[in-house]
């Protein structure tokens, strides 16, 4: 019942915000007539459009889909599930929220803050492990501090030091102290820049992914028959990033020619999403279908869709994020992802419904496929790549099939009994 009133809540919030229907529609990039259908609960809404509307109305998406009371109760349930060594009385949860809404709100807010801080620690831990610049900066600080400590120990423990050598030690101590101050200042500046609005990635693939995200992973110029080389890449500063982007756009253009947008839309309107049927209809391989589906504009598939591509080593070459599905910034993703399982069964399409462990425990449909890139000559083994389409699952469809449990990466996965674990998780009771 609550889901069917999402449109009514959007209308109510729009009126509270003092926005006209046409104005809100223009902000989120849809027509006023389509928004009118949504507000009268005649069109279902979800995914990016729901997030955009919630952002324009300055509310959480869950407020539009479930209402404030349901959101508060859901937050309290999540806090109870995350509690260590405590057993909450879930039967009286609604009564508690109704009788003491203030205290319930405080508890939910504190839990959200804890979750936010944990995610910050996860991100910093991942960066400390894999970010080359950060690792070098920390190494410089620690090395300089060790040099200062060694020099100070010599001065403190040696009774008779020749004045000339004493001056040298003092000079070294002064120089090392200045170097420590400069390296510490540089490290703080780097961390501050990373948290600011500016983007300071420096890694070509991350620059390209940010560029594609800004374009919605969709290029109308190419769809209308233009060349991939005509795309403006001025937003990419480095030559390496532009090279990576051009390689991506070449594949995008080839996929668009093999599966024209208007024909693909007609096929999706006629039948439910089935990558195998689409591959047969357009005479392409499954990898082309999965890449093409991930590049469709918002609204074509109805639900948020992400994509991950890796090579035979398991290194992630490309990722398009989807809300609720955590993807590591660098490699070392969960080996239980269908993406990697497909490498063991090349040319065999794999479909699995998974739940990614974590705070949200969101459910996704994953379509994976591995294929040989090329064969250089006789007796040479093929070079394989694997692609995985990640599509969020609606709540009412979660019980249709078995759900496999996976994680984002071992370092931040809460599953302690996983036989595929490579390293202990930082998410422990002490944390």
Biggest CA-to-CA distance, the chain = 91
Q: Provide the whole-model pTM.
A: 0.56
State CA 347 to chain mean position distance.
Answer: 27
The per-residue pLDDT for range 344-402, each reduced to its tens digit, is: 999 999 999 988 876 556 788 999 999 998 777 787 778 899 999 999 886 544 445 56
What is the distance between the terminal CA atoms of the chain, rounded to a whole angstrom? Answer: 39
Residue 292's pLDDT is 93
The mean pLDDT value for 41-53 works out to: 82
Quick: pLDDT tens for 254-297. Answer: 999 999 988 998 888 888 889 999 999 999 999 999 999 998 88
363: helix, coil or strand? strand
Interval 304-353: pLDDT, tens: 888 999 988 888 888 888 887 877 765 578 889 999 999 999 999 999 99
Would you call 55 helix, strand, or coil by DSSP? helix
What is the token pair recorded at 272? 């439910």
pLDDT tens for 77-112 read 778 877 766 777 877 776 776 667 778 778 888 877
Summarised one tens digit per residue, pLDDT across range 225-265 is: 777 667 888 888 778 888 888 988 999 999 999 999 889 98
Compute the distance between CA of residue 344 and CA of residue 346 in angstroms, rounded to an integer.
Answer: 6
pLDDT tens per residue, range 182-205: 888 777 766 665 554 444 445 677
């Amino acid at each position: 019942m609550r889901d069917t009133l999402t449109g009514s809540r959007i209308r109510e919030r729009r009126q509270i915000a003092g926005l006209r229907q046409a104005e809100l529609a223009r902000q989120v990039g849809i027509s006023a007539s389509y928004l009118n259908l949504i507000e009268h609960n005649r069109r279902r809404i979800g995914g990016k459009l729901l997030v955009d509307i919630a952002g324009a109305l300055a509310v959480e998406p869950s407020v539009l889909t479930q209402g404030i009371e349901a959101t508060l109760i859901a937050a309290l349930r999540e806090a109870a599930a995350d509690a260590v060594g405590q057993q909450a009385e879930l039967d009286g949860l609604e009564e508690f929220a109704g009788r003491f809404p203030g205290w319930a709100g405080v508890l939910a807010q504190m839990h959200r803050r804890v979750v936010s801080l944990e995610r910050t620690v996860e991100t910093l831990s991942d960066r400390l492990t894999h970010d080359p610049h950060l690792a070098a900066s920390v190494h410089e600080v620690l090395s300089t501090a060790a040099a200062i400590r060694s020099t100070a120990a010599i001065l403190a423990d040696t009774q008779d030091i020749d004045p000339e050598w004493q001056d040298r030690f003092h000079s070294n101590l002064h120089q090392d102290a200045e170097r420590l101050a400069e390296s510490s200042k540089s490290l703080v500046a780097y961390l501050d820049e990373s948290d600011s609005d500016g983007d300071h990635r420096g890694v070509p693939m991350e620059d390209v992914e940010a560029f594609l995200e800004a374009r919605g992973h969709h290029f109308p110029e190419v769809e209308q028959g233009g060349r991939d080389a005509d795309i403006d890449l001025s937003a990419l500063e480095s030559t390496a990033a532009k090279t990576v982007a051009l390689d991506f756009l070449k594949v995008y253009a080839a996929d668009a020619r093999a599966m024209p947008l208007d024909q693909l839309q007609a096929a999706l309107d006629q039948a439910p999403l089935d990558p195998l049927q689409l591959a047969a209809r357009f005479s392409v391989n499954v990898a082309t279908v999965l890449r093409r589906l991930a590049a469709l504009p918002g609204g074509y598939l109805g639900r948020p869709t992400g994509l991950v591509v890796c090579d035979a080593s398991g290194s992630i070459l490309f990722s398009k994020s989807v809300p609720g599905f955590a993807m590591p910034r660098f490699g070392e993703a969960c080996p239980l992802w269908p993406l990697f399982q497909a490498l063991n069964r090349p040319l065999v399409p794999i479909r699995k419904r998974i739940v990614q462990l974590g705070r949200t425990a969101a459910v996704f449909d994953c379509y994976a496929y591995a294929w040989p890139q090329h064969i250089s000559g006789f007796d040479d083994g093929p070079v394989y790549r694997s692609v995985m389409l990640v599509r969020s699952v609606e709540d009412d469809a979660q019980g249709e099939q078995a759900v496999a449990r996976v994680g984002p990466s071992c370092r931040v996965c809460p599953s302690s009994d996983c036989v595929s674990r490579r390293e202990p998780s930082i998410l422990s009771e002490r944390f």
